[in-house]
Amino acid sequence: MESDEGDEQQQEAERLPLSQRPEWSDVTPIPQDDGPNPVVPIAYKPEFSETMSYFRAVYYSNERSSRSFQLTKEAICLNPGNYTVWHFRRQIIETLHADLQDELAFVGRIAKSNSKNYQLWHHRRWVAEKLGTGAVNKELQFTKKMLSLDAKNYHAWSHRQWVLQALGGWEDELDYCQMLLGEDIFNNSAWNQRYFVVTRSPLLGGLIAMRDSEVNFTIEAILGNPENESPWRYLRGLYKDDTESWINDPRMSSVCLKVLSTKSNYVFALSTLLDLICHGFWPSEEFREAINALNTPDSGPLDSDLGRAICRVLECVDPLRCNYWLWRKSKLPLTVSSQ
Amino acid sequence: MPHLATTYAAVNALISLGGEKSLPSINRSKVYTFLKCMKDPSGAFRMHDAGEIDVRACYTAISVASILNILDDELLQNVGNYILSCQTYEGGIAGEPGSEAHGGYTFCGLAAMILINEADRLDLDALIGWVVFRQGVEGGFQGRTNKLVDGCYSFWQGGVFALLRRFHSIIGESPTPVDQRGAECSIDNTQTTTASDVSEGDGSSDEISSQGDEHCHFQHREREPLFHSIALQRYLLLCSQDPRGGLRDKLRKPRDYYHTCYCLSGLSICQHSWLKDEDSSPLPRAVLGPYSNVLEPVHPVFNIVLDRYHEAHEFFSRS
């Protein structure tokens, strides 16, 4: 039923026009109707126009046959963004009960050169859903392969998350995140996936149960690269919806202090400290000292209110966000001590 | 088959053309039927028949419905819940629940929430705290944490500030009392153009005080956007422009219409970001380069030239 596997690349060089293929001789191709006054008409290659004209013929007559099926493959290769063709292909698959493993293989072959194509990934999801839990390993393998080519491919990550939630396979996911972070601690997609696993895996105890070890792991990552935004946000995320526990965890302010003491790459440390203060954390004197010690170019004495002092430092050391820090300062609660 | 992206683009294109032929040519009742068909039980929308569901679909559907004045309770039901579930621990919004916070989807999510009047349900402090850090040292915006900047995010990310400025009181609310300290990083060397950048200007804005005391400085800064508008403009003018015309992601990338559109919209947002009212002309100091660089202001929700938006809004509220 299906033509040769892996013939997608060959098609261009050896292609026989549809008008010359005996199996298509009974079909009248339908040209594209651009209306009476086409504006900016696309200069299609003859091969493209012909393929789509035959597609229109079988599409409008709703012919769900094996020749239509083959034709959709050709049309997809010519324009993988044509969602109408993909949709019709799915309808044909259902009618003919086409082999779904073959279909996964087809998608797999064109995935590398179409890795950011919405239609391809949606199609893959549709096929995998039909296959059910049996497809888990293959889908995890596939997304792993795609992510090895581009560790931040948004579609690949979405698909992987869908697979985990719909079909399962959570067992090795935390390890997988760990591995990716080992390769690149700055990979925010991997941090996001870690959050996904930690909060949603049915095999782990849930966020609260995981929190302690996650905090320790994250702090280590922060201390290794304090300029890395990802673990700072992840750390905050571990205490989402639990501000009380967040401000009361001594490790929060302690990591800020540690980074501040190095006097380098401390923007996120300051920002985190500011957030802690805004949510009710009472900083001890050592924080005041650490900030004084930064010796940021400044005109005038540091504010007696630590929140304001932090904002002032940030206005200077993070000038791109100067107005943001000014705005944050303006939203700080008034304190009795500010002169 | 119809598709929400093409529907959104076509409606916006027709409205941008404007006039007595374009606007009436839109068959609103058929568009409504299509939108109803795209509605998913979860509250979200599909991009096409049996197509993918994500925050983009929610935005394009709600945007079209809103501007054509066909947005009803059935269409907007539960959309807010879906978008809310897409706000991530980072503060930005993802394409689907669980995915990574992303500039394009953040714009779509926020704009849609504003249109259905549920923006308050989002954690806006977290959202702002995320977007503001998406501006890179190059001046442009990145789409996600620890990724490269790209000209198109000038609109998707930059536009978030315009949305909140215009449609939400979270920024520019009356702040707590006046800043009383000594001189801070002054307006002049962080945000504004230098004398050589501006060839002319009226300089007669009634916001500029001749006194220069702290209170007036503060009032100034209140007018300025939370992101670094001049740095973004610099990126757009120096890095995103293709010398042969058109705009692009970044240097050494090819130009295309998508980037041309969103880079220009981003530039317009920057130029008009100093003021709160839509009707006044941009301040000269808000514009990098000669004042002739000024673009038409765009509506930050729909990304349509404001004048055209008003024309369409009036036309469709009549029918």
pLDDT at A7: 72
Q: Do A188 and B224 touch (CB under 8 A)?
A: no
Residue A79, Cβ neighbours under 10 Å: how many?
14
Q: Is A147 on the interface with B (CB under 8 A)?
A: no
Pick from B217, B130, B115, B204: which is nearest to B167 by CA?
B115
CA distance B308 to B305: 5
Phi, psi of A308, rounded to the nearest 5 degrees:
-70, -40
Region of A284 on the Ramachandran plot (φ > 0 left; ψ -120 to 50 alpha; else beta): beta
| Shortest Cα–Cα distance, B97 to chain A (Å) | 9
Gap from B318 CA to chain A (nearest CA, Å): 30
Contact B51, B61 (CB under 8 A): no
Q: What is the ipTM of this complex?
A: 0.95
The neighbouring-strand residues paired with B299 are B304
Q: Classify residue A131 as exposed, middle or buried by CB count within 10 Å of its CB (0-12, 13-18, 19+).
A: middle
Which tokens is B120 given?
Answer: 């308050």
Band the pLDDT of B189: cuts 50, 70, 90: very low
Q: Are A238 and A211 in contact (CB under 8 A)?
A: yes
Closest-CA residue of B relative to A239 is B89
Q: Looking at chain A, which residue has its C-alpha nearest residue B3?
A: A83
pLDDT reported for residue B230 = 98
Does the pTM exceed 0.95? no
A158 touching B, CB under 8 A? yes
Interface test with A, best of B52, B130, B233, B258 (most A CBs within 10 A): B52
Nearest CA in chain A to B53: A122
Any B CB within 8 A of A102 CB: no
Averaged confidence pLDDT in chain B? 87
pLDDT band at B299 (very low <50, low <70, confident <90, very high): very high
Give CA–CA dist A6/A16, Å, rounded: 17
How confident is the model at residue A300, as a pLDDT?
52
> Which residues in A lie closer than 8 A to residue B225 (C-beta atoms)?
323
Find the catalytic residue in B102, B165, B220, B285. B102
**Cβ–Cβ of B227/A118 closer than 8 Å?**
no
For chain B, give the secondary structure using H, E and C: CCCHHHHHHHHHHHHHHCHHHHHHHCCHHHHHHHHHHHECCCCCEECCCCCCECHHHHHHHHHHHHHCCCCCHHHHCCHHHHHHCCECCCCCECCCCCCCCCHHHHHHHHHHHHHCCCHHHCCHHHHHHHHHHHECCCCCEECCCCCCECCCHHHHCHHHHHHHHHHCCCCCCCCCCCCCCCCCCCHHHHCCCCCCCCCCCCCCCCCCCCCCCHHHHHHHHHHCCCCCHHHHHHHHHHHHECCCCCECCCCCCCCCHHHHHHHHHHHHHHHCCCCCCCCCCCCHHHCCCCHHHCCCCEECCCCEEHHHHHHHHHHHHHC
CB pairs under 8 A between A and B: 131
CA distance B86 to B74: 21
Phi, psi (degrees; rounded to nearest 5) at B87: -80, 130
Taking CA–CA distances from A326, the nearest residue in chain B reads B221
Burial readout A15-50 (b: 16 or more C-beta within 10 A, e: otherwise)? eeebeeeeebeebebbeeeeeeeeeeeeeeeeeeeb
Q: Hey, how many other C-beta atoms are within 10 angstroms of the C-beta on A251?
A: 14
- Which residues from chain A sit within 8 angstroms of residue B100, using beta carbons? 154, 157, 188-189, 192
Q: What CA–CA distance (Å, rounded) separates B114 from B118? A: 6
Tokens, residue A18 = 């549809």
Alpha carbons A253 and A270: distance in angstroms, whole number: 10
Catalytic site includes residue B242: no
User: Would you tell me how many other CB atoms lie within 10 Å of the CB of residue A314?
Assistant: 23
- Identify the band that residue B213 occupies on the pLDDT scale cut at 50, 70 and 90: very low
Residue A293: the pLDDT is: 92
Active centre residues of A (catalytic): 116
B101, B107 contact by CB (below 8 A): no
Q: Could you tell me the domains of chain B? A: 1-129 (1.50.10.20), 134-171+225-301 (no CATH)
**Window A:173-212, CB contacts with B under 8 Å:** 186-189, 192, 195-196, 200
A158 with B145: Cβ contact below 8 A: no
Closest to A192 (Cβ–Cβ): which among B52, B88, B132? B88
Give the C-alpha separation, B86 to B98, whole Å.
Answer: 7
Q: Do A192 and B90 touch (CB under 8 A)?
A: yes
State whether A196 and B228 contact (CB < 8 Å): no
For residue A190, the chain B residue with the least C-alpha distance is: B100
State both tokens at A60. 């409008």
Sign of CA dihedral A257, A262, A268, A270: positive
Q: Which residues contact B32 (CB under 8 A, 6 or more apart)?
A: B65, B70
Task: Tell which residue, B177, B167, B172, B154, has the closest CA to residue B122.
Answer: B167
Query: How many of the other CB atoms lie within 10 Å of CB of B280?
Result: 12
Given a contact cutoff of 8 angstroms between Cβ atoms, the answer to whether B55 and B98 are in contact is no
Nearest to A237 among B90, B100, B139 (CB): B90
Contact B297, B275 (CB under 8 A): no
Rounded CA separation B3/B96 (Å): 19
Angle at A97 between CA A92 and CA A101, to 5 degrees: 100
* Residue B190 clears pLDDT 50, i.e. is over it: no
Find the length of chain A. Answer: 339
Nearest-by-CA chain B residue for A155: B99
C-alpha–C-alpha distance, residues A198 and A203, integer Å: 9
CA distance A236 to B11: 41
For each successive 10 residues of chain A (339 residues), what is the average pLDDT? 60 84 98 93 97 98 98 98 98 98 98 97 98 98 98 98 98 98 98 98 96 98 98 98 96 97 97 97 95 75 84 96 96 65
Check residue B319 and give its pLDDT: 75
> Which residues pair with residue B45 across a beta bridge?
B39
Query: Across the interface, which of A125, A158, A332 has its CB nearest the CB of B99?
Result: A158
What pLDDT does residue B272 have? 95
B3 catalytic residue (yes or no): no
Question: Is residue B17 predicted with pLDDT exceeding 60?
Answer: yes
A265 touches chain B (CB under 8 A): no
Nearest CB to A330; choose among B175, B184, B227: B175
Q: Write out pLDDT tens, residues B254-285.
A: 999 999 999 999 999 999 998 656 568 899 99
B42-100 pLDDT, tens digit per residue, is 999 999 999 999 999 999 999 999 999 999 999 999 999 999 999 999 999 999 999 99
**CA pair distance B111, A168, nearest whole angstrom:** 34
Element (H, E) at A104: helix A100-111
Contact at CB, B185 and A316, closer than 8 angstroms: yes
Asked whether the beta carbons of B143 and B241 are under 8 A apart, the reply is no
CA distance A66 to A92: 8
| Beta carbons within 10 angstroms of residue A158's beta carbon | 21
